[in-house]
Amino acid sequence: MVGFEVKEDEKRIFLALSPSKRYRDNVLTIVKEIQKKGLRIIFISINQPSAFITGLFEKNGIDMSTIFFIDGITRYAGGPITADPGTCRFVSKPGDLTAMSMAVTDILKMENVGRTVIFLDSVNAMLIYTSSVDLSKFIHFVISKLRILNISGIFLAVEKGLDPVLMSQLMTFADELIEFPDDQNP
């Protein structure tokens, strides 16, 4: 994968930009890279329901025992809440940043948090439900919490889907920018 490596001994914040046509493939690539390092993933799901993502991951050979979801879309869309509470926390709606912040904080209090990566899917989906200003504040809060706890984070966005002000703020918050090419082979 071009320019991307999660290192357990080097906690970093990544802003990952993906072309829309390669988005799902790039999510899978990132998750597999994290798992290769033996790290847990707290997957903040705004783009797709956790049940759908679980099916996609299982179909692509991803070990679900190391993934914990914060699902911000299933309840809002009226989907069934069938996941094990030990592996998924449901938030009432994607725009409820207070509940999302509380869920992140609660999960980060769990054991072995140091061997964890937070993965936000996606910045663009969150913009459907909240303003750029509020989203910027939320992401800054989460990144600050990650830095305090010495945890890595990956914030995924469709490369051409963000306004320039938000993009510059996100780039300022992040340690590293990952840009996936359009022509990347799966």
pLDDT tier, 185 (very low <50, low <70, confident <90, very high otherwise): low
Q: Please tell me the predicted confidence (pLDDT) of residue 101.
A: 87
Q: Please tell me the predicted confidence (pLDDT) of residue 105.
A: 84
Question: Tell me: the pLDDT tens digits for 109-167?
Answer: 876 666 889 999 999 999 999 999 999 999 999 999 899 988 899 999 998 889 999 99
In this structure, what is the dihedral angle of CA atoms 4, 86, 157, 17, given to the nearest 10 degrees? 10
CB burial readout 93-113, b (16+ within 10 A) else e: ebbbbebbbebbeebbeeeee
Tell whether omega for the bond before 122 is within 30 degrees of 0, i.e. cis. Answer: yes
Q: Which residues contact 100 (CB under 8 A, 6 or more apart)?
A: 44, 70, 72, 91, 138
Both structure tokens of 170: 């996100």
Query: Mean pLDDT in the chain?
Result: 89
6 pLDDT exceeds 80? no
Fold classification of 16-157+173-179 (topology level): Rossmann fold (3.40.50)
20 pLDDT exceeds 70? yes
Both structure tokens of 111: 């054991």
CA distance 41 to 113: 10
Q: Please tell me the predicted confidence (pLDDT) of residue 1.
A: 44
| Better-scored residue on pLDDT, 3 or 128 | 128
By the 10 Å C-beta count (0-12 exposed, 13-18 middle, 19+ buried), 59 is classed as exposed
- Measured CA to CA in angstroms, residue 52 lies from 10, 109, 111, 136, 137 at distances of 31, 27, 27, 27, 28
25 pLDDT exceeds 70? yes
| Better-scored residue on pLDDT, 172 or 106 | 172
Portion of the chain with pLDDT greater than 70, in percent:
90
Q: Please tell me the predicted confidence (pLDDT) of residue 80.
A: 84
Q: What are phi and psi of 176, to 5 degrees?
A: -150, 140
Q: Please tell me the predicted confidence (pLDDT) of residue 15.
A: 96
